[in-house]
């Protein structure tokens, strides 16, 4: 693969990596699983005398790693390369990088695994030369003395990567806990301010050896934030400052309910030292992060606060993004649910429907279902998918569904003719470019059987399951998608549904993903539907979605299941 191709991979797979690395005050680059550079910060460009264009896509070992005289270093003799293949954190103090002008740069380095947030494994490389401010600064020894400066930089980079690669609040909190305990502290406490300005103690976790133990008895609602209190947690929750605290901080008369709860916390946990930092986003204060020590004899010191503040700041950005995402998702789901119809009660039939939104909050989707009585006492069934995953697709879905209802009610014609009229109309009076759909009519036949007449416009076929667990796809009546060819004649098909049988109409999000071909998904659906045939319809539907919907699904799913009574 050429350098230009590697650069393109960088842009596609790690678009935010370089921006995150700029926050680290020394040279940093990231390599992929083959050792090719996929991200770099400005300080690395400066130290190496090379622009990003000359670094991205290059093999880091071949381009940079040198001996003390500038000679090419065999891979078997390169400590960094060996550590890279070991896949675990490592560091070194006397190595050399090649600069663009032919000189060599003495460096200290640290490498650590680095997550890009899109299931890609990568490695972070942090380096700086002798004489760099981080190497020569004289400062009091912090309590977190087990962490070198390079390890602190790597921790911040790991925090950024871990927290920004999820949009789930609970998962972000879990990752934050794993990052700081037991690396920095024995206890971690996270207090969050809810959207109603209430304080909730969301996390109290203690590291007991290699096990993280959650203390739910210390979690829960907290008293209001006092505006005048100068106690550490109150100040952090107002976004004022980071502070050190200990049990002695809360031995006096408490000035608020929060102070009482903090005194209880120190007593219950036996923490002898704590550092408390506000969790802020650019828009608001979201809560407070408290790190506490019991087993470690070293107390937190003022010089520890900048690192903890940096971690809390990154947590604030991640939590704010997750909250915005969840709010957007809620709005999208509410809109979609209001666009989908309420299902009628069908005399002599059981029916249930489900709609599951796509994982991406913006993917409102064009998947839909419908069922409604017709003027001839039969029942119309429909399921469809308007191309697109946005509000426009959802609006198009509503147009198609409403037009179908109007044609089906007013025109006493076979399903194929109804869909032909619909196809002609949507090409002229809507913005819908393409859509798939099954439209059918259900009516009682004889001996407890029901007759289904349908036409299929490019949609996955209906699945019919007998009460004995025999499952088969109804592949007849198949025609082309809506919106692809004007004036096309569409086929009709008819099938008898025996007593106790179940009919399943579904959209392609249930069976298809980029990593799974259509036949695999169809076979999986048939297998599980047959196994669940004896379940009550509600349980059948829920279990079918749970078992069949792919874990890496990136599409919404609509499903309509109908069961004929046993008779």
**Burial of 386 from C-beta contacts in 10 A (0-12 / 13-18 / 19+):** buried
Residue owning tokens 């809390």: 312
Q: Which long-range contacts (CB under 8 A, 24 or more apart) does 267-270 make?
A: 268/215, 268/218, 269/187, 269/204, 269/206, 269/215, 269/218, 269/294, 270/294
Phi-psi sector, 17: left (phi>0), alpha (psi -120 to 50), beta: alpha
Between CA 363 and CA 204 the distance in angstroms is: 35
Which band of pLDDT confidence, cut at 50, 70 and 90, is reported for residue 484?
A: confident
Phi, psi for residue 314 in degrees, rounded to 5: -65, -40
Residue 493 pairs in a beta bridge with 454
558 with 520: CB under 8 angstroms?
no
Distance CA 287, CA 199 (A): 8
In the predicted model, is pLDDT for residue 14 greater than 60?
A: no
| Short-list 278, 232, 236, CA closest to 259 | 232
Q: Of 287, 346, 345, whose CA–CA distance to 312 is shortest?
A: 287
The reported pTM is: 0.51
Domains of the chain: 3-138 (3.30.450.20), 161-329 (3.30.450.40), 340-563 (3.60.40.10)
* Angle, alpha carbons 62-66-72 (nearest 5°): 65
Q: What is the DSSP letter of 77?
A: G
Alpha carbons 16 and 272: distance in angstroms, whole number: 39
Residue 544: Cβ-neighbour burial (10 angstroms; 0-12, 13-18, 19+): buried
| 367, 556 contact by CB (below 8 A) | yes
Give dist(CA 266, CA 239) in Å, integer. Answer: 22
Strand order in the sheet with 350-356: 350-356, 557-563, 502-506, 463-465, 471-473
Distance (Å, whole) CA 245 – CA 263: 11
Q: What average pLDDT is seen over the chain?
A: 85
* CB-CB contact of 344 with 535 (8 Å): no
Q: Is the pLDDT of residue 423 over 60?
A: yes
Q: For 530-538, what is the mean pLDDT? A: 95
pLDDT at 404 over 70: yes
Q: What is the mean pLDDT of residues 20-26?
A: 76
Residue 541 · residue 560 · CB < 8 Å: no
pLDDT at position 306 is 84
Which residue, 442, 438, 414, is CA-closest to 501?
Answer: 442
Predicted confidence (pLDDT) per residue in 256-270, tens digit = 999 999 999 999 999
Residue 91 predicted with pLDDT over 70: yes
Check: CB of residue 460 under 8 Å from CB of residue 522. Answer: yes
CB-neighbour burial class of residue 407 (10 A; exposed 0-12, middle 13-18, buried 19+): middle
pLDDT digits (tens, 9 = 90+) for 333-375: 666 565 666 777 777 789 999 988 776 544 556 788 999 999 8
pLDDT of the residue at 135: 46
- 507-525 residue pLDDT tens: 999 998 877 788 999 999 9
Do 29 and 60 contact (CB within 8 A), yes or no?
A: yes
Residue 188 CA to residue 180 CA, distance in Å, equals 8
Q: How far is CA 182 from the centre of its chain?
A: 26
Q: Which of 31-40, 100-109, 139-148, 199-208 shows the lowest mean pLDDT across its residues?
A: 139-148
Please give the share of the chain, as a percent, with pLDDT higher than 70: 86
């Amino acid at each position: 693969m050429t350098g230009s191709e590697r650069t393109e991979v960088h842009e596609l797979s790690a678009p935010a990596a370089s921006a995150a690395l700029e926050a680290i005050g020394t040279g940093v680059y990231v390599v992929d699983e083959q050792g090719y550079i996929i991200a770099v910060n400005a300080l690395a460009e400066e130290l190496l005398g090379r622009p990003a264009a000359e670094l991205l896509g290059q093999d880091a070992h071949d381009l940079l790693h040198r001996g003390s005289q500038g000679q090419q270093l065999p891979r078997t003799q390169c400590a960094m390369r060996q550590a890279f293949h070991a896949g675990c954190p490592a560091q070194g103090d006397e190595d050399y990088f090649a600069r663009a002008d032919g000189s060599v740069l003495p460096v200290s380095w640290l490498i650590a695994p680095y997550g890009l947030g899109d299931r890609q494994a990568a490695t972070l490389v942090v380096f700086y030369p002798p004489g760099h401010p981080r190497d020569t600064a004289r400062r009091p020894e912090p309590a977190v003395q087990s962490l070198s400066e390079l390890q602190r930089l790597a921790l911040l980079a790991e925090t950024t990567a871990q927290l920004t690669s999820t949009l789930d609040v609970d998962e972000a909190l879990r990752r934050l806990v794993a990052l700081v305990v037991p690396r920095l502290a024995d206890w971690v406490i996270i207090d969050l301010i809810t959207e109603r300005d209430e304080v909730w103690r969301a996390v109290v976790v203690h590291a007991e050896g290699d096990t993280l133990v959650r203390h739910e008895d210390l979690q829960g609602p907290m008293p209001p934030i006092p505006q005048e209190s100068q106690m550490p947690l109150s100040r952090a929750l107002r976004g004022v400052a980071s502070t050190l605290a200990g049990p002695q901080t809360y031995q006096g008369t408490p000035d608020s309910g929060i102070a009482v709860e903090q005194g209880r916390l120190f007593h219950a946990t036996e923490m002898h030292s704590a550092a408390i930092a506000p969790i802020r986003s650019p828009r608001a204060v979201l809560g407070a992060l408290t790190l506490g020590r019991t087993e470690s004899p070293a107390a937190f010191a003022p010089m520890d606060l900048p690192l903890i503040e940096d971690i809390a700041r990154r947590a604030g950005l991640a939590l704010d993004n997750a909250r915005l995402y969840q709010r957007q998702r809620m709005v999208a789901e509410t809109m979609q649910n209001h666009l989908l119809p309420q299902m009628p009660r069908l005399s002599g039939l059981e029916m249930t429907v489900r709609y599951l939104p796509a994982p991406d909050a913006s993917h409102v989707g064009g998947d839909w279902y419908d069922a409604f009585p017709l003027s001839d006492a039969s029942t119309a069934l429909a399921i469809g998918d308007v191309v697109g995953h946005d509000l426009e697709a959802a609006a198009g879905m509503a147009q198609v569904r409403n037009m179908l209802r109007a044609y089906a009610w007013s025109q006493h014609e076979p399903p194929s003719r109804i869909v032909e009229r619909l196809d002609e109309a949507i090409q002229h009076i809507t913005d819908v470019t393409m859509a798939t759909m099954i439209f059918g009519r259900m009516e009682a036949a004889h001996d407890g059987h029901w007759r289904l007449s349908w036409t299929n416009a490019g949609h996955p076929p209906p699945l019919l399951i007998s009460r004995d667990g025999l499952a088969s796809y109804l592949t007849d009546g198949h025609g082309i998608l809506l919106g692809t060819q004007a004036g096309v004649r569409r086929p009709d098909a008819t099938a008898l549904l025996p007593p106790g049988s179940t009919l399943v109409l579904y959209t392609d999000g249930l069976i298809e993903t980029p990593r799974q071909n259509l036949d695999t998904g169809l076979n999986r659906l048939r297998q599980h539907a047959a196994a669940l045939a004896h379940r009550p319809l509600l349980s059948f539907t829920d279990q079918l979605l749970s078992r069949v919907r792919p874990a890496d699904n990136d599409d919404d799913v609509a499903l309509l299941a109908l069961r004929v009574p046993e008779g």
